[in-house]
Amino acid sequence: MAILLGKVHGSLARAGKVKNQTPKVEAQEKAKKPTGRAKKREMYNRRIVSNATTINGKRRLNPAPVK
């Protein structure tokens, strides 16, 4: 009894074509992200302090756009 395996889309000879064509860009230096207490503080400020309450007094973390 033969085992049927899935087909590959396109030949494996073309594997990695786009990645190899893309020009290499060096990674830029970024400021380090806060960790621990500082990260929790940033999340609290972003979610609770800056988001004003709605009409019924509830806070919506991911509100749908108002029509």
Q: For residues 16 and 5, what is the distance between their CA atoms, to the nearest angstrom? A: 22
Cα separation, 65 vs 67, whole angstroms: 6
Mean pLDDT, rounded, for 10-38: 91
Write the pLDDT tens digit of every residue in 27-55. 999 999 999 999 999 999 888 887 766 66
- Exposed/middle/buried for 3, CB within 10 Å: 0-12, 13-18, 19+? exposed
What pLDDT, on the 0 to 100 scale, is given for residue 24?
A: 94
In the predicted model, what is the mean pLDDT of the chain? Answer: 83
The pLDDT of residue 29 is: 95
What secondary structure letter does DSSP report for 62?
Answer: S
Residue 10, pLDDT above cutoff 80: no
Whether residue 51 contacts residue 62, with contact meaning beta carbons closer than 8 Å, is answered with no
